[in-house]
């Protein structure tokens, strides 16, 4: 069910708030996040790391791409989390949410000169640089500002993370990082560039990684590179150990944080470096759900459908990756209620707007509430307005309190940025206009 969500007296609650109360106040579809579940996920990982010496030198930088709502970032920031950002927009969100610049790492394969300049000016902790041209631009930008930019080269270890192909980032054919074989050359080149502190190495192997073996293989390659570079006179003192720990969507068994911490101690502990981790999904994924209402059951067909008011524009993971989300009724079915297979689909005009095929559910009627579980990561952040559907709102629950942390835009707000070119404008020309 995901920590923070449970049935009480036949109704699904988010912490101490019944979901029908949120649906009545905000409408559906709506994302609902459980703040205490996020805190618990953070504390589980931070707690495991605190048991090993290397872990105590580690900063957890929350990968805000997973869920960049300001209230979510602040909830984790207040726990002591830093931020991992992939755009200047995410950087600004972190700063706005109160994460200090010196706890922010900038990742991403295509940072523009303007983005690099903004981050140098903000004084962030580290730039994870992914190419030679980016390194050269960063050096120029830092020199223009008279500052030194702290750099880690993101190397691609060519290790298969044994996760979905679409969320694998550390194999040689991925667009991410610098081939680990070429890394020493790049460090030598970087040494000649002004205004850079190239004392870091970063890597990221992929997301939703269940098995510790790919981490072990990748971090071993990273440790070997660090030793090689040190022998070549590079004072390597920072390691960014990317690769996203998995959560349970269905029956996955995620890697245990204690085993992960022990692995870090074992492989990179002896290097005595400052460490950074970039967890996203594992901190927020199971702490969120998408609450939706049934519009129509269309069950008089050979293949029955349940049409709900959430759609692929609100939660794209099933359409994008074939991802699986548990779907549960908010009113707990009585024991023994028969279930039947049904395709759960949204109203968007695309056949791919399908959340689940032949999912076994109890009978549901128009207006009934259902919840898509484990939707706290890569849910709202990937939402769009396709079919002129308003961006789905977000609600944060904290114990018995809840608040709308992003409202549903009105139609006027949705079209506010659009305008007619003068040749299509029907309005009478203003007096005095030519």
> Residue 344 CB, nearest distance to ligand PLP (Å)?
25
Which residue, 109 or 137, is less far from ligand PLP as judged by CB?
A: 109
Stretch in the footprint of ligand PLP (CB under 6 A) among 8-16, 279-287, 324-332, 380-388: 279-287
Q: Is 66 in the site for ligand PLP (CB under 6 A)?
A: yes
Q: Is 272 left (phi over 0), alpha (psi -120 to 50) or beta?
A: left
> Residue 221 CB, nearest distance to ligand PLP (Å)?
17
Q: Which helix (H) or strand (E) holds 142?
A: helix 132-144
Stretch in the footprint of ligand PLP (CB under 6 A) among 2-10, 220-228, 277-285, 349-357: 277-285
Both tokens assigned to 143: 């020199």
Closest CA to 288 of 82, 7, 30: 30
Q: Is 282 in the site for ligand PLP (CB under 6 A)?
A: yes
Asked if 346 and 310 touch (Cβ cutoff 8 Å), the reply is: yes
> Catalytic: 349?
yes
Stretch in the footprint of ligand PLP (CB under 6 A) among 28-36, 50-58, 276-284, 343-351: 276-284
Which residue, 139 or 169, is less far from ligand PLP as judged by CB?
A: 169
Name which position in 32, 63, 268, 312 contacts ligand PLP (CB under 6 A): 63
Both tokens assigned to 384: 């769009």
Q: Which residue is nearest to ligand PLP (CB)?
A: 244
Which residue, 91 or 377, is less far from ligand PLP as judged by CB?
A: 377
Residues 98-137 that bind ligand PLP (CB under 6 A): 107
Which CA distances in Å does 269 have to 54, 55, 81, 262, 304?
5, 8, 21, 9, 56
Residues 375-394 that bind ligand PLP (CB under 6 A): 377
Catalytic residue among 61, 81, 349, 354: 349
In the beta sheet, which residues pair with residue 288?
A: 33
For residues 94 and 301, give the distance between their C-alpha atoms in angstroms, rounded to a whole number.
49
DSSP one-letter string for 29-50:
SEEEEEHHHHHHHHHHHHHHHT
* Residue 67 dihedral angles phi and psi, to the nearest 5°: -165, 105
Residue ranges in contact with ligand PLP by CB under 6 A: 63, 66, 84, 107, 167, 169, 204, 207-208, 242, 244, 278-282, 377
Residues designated catalytic: 349
């Amino acid at each position: 069910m995901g920590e923070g969500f449970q049935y009480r007296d036949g109704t699904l609650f988010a912490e101490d708030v019944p979901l029908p109360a949120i649906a009545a106040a905000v409408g559906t579809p709506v994302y609902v996040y459980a703040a205490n579940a996020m805190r618990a996920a953070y504390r589980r990982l931070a707690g495991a790391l605190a048991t090993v010496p290397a872990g105590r030198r580690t900063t957890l930088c929350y990968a805000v791409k997973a869920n960049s709502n300001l209230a979510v970032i602040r909830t984790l920031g207040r726990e002591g989390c830093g931020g991992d950002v992939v755009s200047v927009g995410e950087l600004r969100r972190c700063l706005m949410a109160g994460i200090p610049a010196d706890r922010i790492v900038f990742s991403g394969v295509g940072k523009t000169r303007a983005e690099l300049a903004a981050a140098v000016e903000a004084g962030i902790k580290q730039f994870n640089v992914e190419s030679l041209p980016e390194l050269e631009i960063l050096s120029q930008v830092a020199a223009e500002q008279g500052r030194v930019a702290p750099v880690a080269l993101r190397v691609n270890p060519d290790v298969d993370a044994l996760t979905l192909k679409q969320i694998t980032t550390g194999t040689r054919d991925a667009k991410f990082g610098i081939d680990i074989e070429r890394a020493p050359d790049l460090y030598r080149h970087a040494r000649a560039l002004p205004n850079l502190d190239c004392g870091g190495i970063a890597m990221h192997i992929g997301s939703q990684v269940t098995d510790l073996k790919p981490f072990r293989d990748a971090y071993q390659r990273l440790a070997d590179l660090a030793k090689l570079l040190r022998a070549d006179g590079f004072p390597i003192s920072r390691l960014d150990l990317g690769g996203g720990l998995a959560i349970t969507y269905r029956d996955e068994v995620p890697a245990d944080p204690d085993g992960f911490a022990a692995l870090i101690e074992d492989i990179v502990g002896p290097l005595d470096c400052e460490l950074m981790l970039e967890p996203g999904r594992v901190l927020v994924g199971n702490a969120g759900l998408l609450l939706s209402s049934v519009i129509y059951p269309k069950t008089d067909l050979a293949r029955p459908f349940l049409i709900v008011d959430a759609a692929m524009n609100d939660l794209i993971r099933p359409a994008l990756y074939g991802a699986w989300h548990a779907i549960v009724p908010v009113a707990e079915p009585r024991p023994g209620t028969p279930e039947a297979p049904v395709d759960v689909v949204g109203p968007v005009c695309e056949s791919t707007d399908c959340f689940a095929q032949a999912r076994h559910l109890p009978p549901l009627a128009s207006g009934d509430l259902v919840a898509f579980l484990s939707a706290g990561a890569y849910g709202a952040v990937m939402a769009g307005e396709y079919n002129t559907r308003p961006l789905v709102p977000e609600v944060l629950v904290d114990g018995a309190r809840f608040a709308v942390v992003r409202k549903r835009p009105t139609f006027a707000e949705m079209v506010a940025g659009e305008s007619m070119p003068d040749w299509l404008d029907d309005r009478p020309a203003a007096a005095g206009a030519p």
